[in-house]
Amino acid sequence: MATDIGRKAVASKPLSRLGYREYCSLPADGLRHEIIDGSHFMTPAPSTRHQTVSKRLQYPIYTQVELAGLGVVLSAPVAVQLSEHDIVQPDLVVVLAEHSERITPTKLNGPPDLIVEILSPSTASTDLTLKKQLYERAGVPEYWIADPDTKRIDQYLLQGDRYNLAPATDPITTLANQLTIHHADIWWGT
């Protein structure tokens, strides 16, 4: 059984900072390749538990956002270029209709309105530190960290140039009260 337990993200320090051109030349090998601050990060394919949580988050977001005509929901693997040297593949992204020009045929060019990362042993450290700092710096208005171990979702809201952790609520409501996620719909059986 393939699992990412005990496996960690591997970063390689290049001689020069990598960009989108180098990102496009990375192998299509089933691993997740990202470039953060010009350095290459590689993680194993996600576990089935991770993918279950992703699906359970994507469905209500898709039905309440995309089917309602408010925007587009994209899931990994999708390239999100936040700067010349920052190309990531978040688990889920939401791009509201007013920012639809950021979606190109090959990538999302600029910050989405919401990014969701689901923690796994191989990505937790990067998601909680490097990516959180990157998303904050890039001006992503909202960042969710879903933790299958604790069965919670931390909702970070950009206020000024800093993320603030929103009070924990059930349900989580966001995007001008047009998106509501109930914890029981995400965590049952995980």
Q: Is residue 6 over pLDDT 80?
A: no
**44-187: what CATH class?**
alpha beta
Residue 12 pLDDT class (50, 70, 90 cuts): low
- The domain segmentation of the chain, as residue ranges, is 44-187
Closest C-alpha to 174, from 80, 60, 79: 60
**Structural contact between residues 123 and 9, judged by C-beta atoms closer than 8 angstroms:** yes
109-152 residue pLDDT tens:
999 999 999 999 888 889 999 999 999 999 999 999 999 999 99
| pTM, entire model | 0.88
Q: How many alpha carbons lie under 13 Å from residue 182 in its C-beta half-sphere? A: 3
Q: How far is it, in rounded angstroms, from Cα 44 to Cα 9?
A: 8
Question: What are residue 12's DSSP bridge partners?
Answer: 40
Closest C-alpha to 144, from 152, 154, 134: 154
Question: What are residue 146's DSSP bridge partners?
Answer: 118, 153
Residue of 31 and 146 predicted with greater confidence: 146
Compute how many other C-beta atoms are within 10 angstroms of the C-beta atom of residue 4.
Answer: 18
Residue 82 pLDDT class (50, 70, 90 cuts): very high
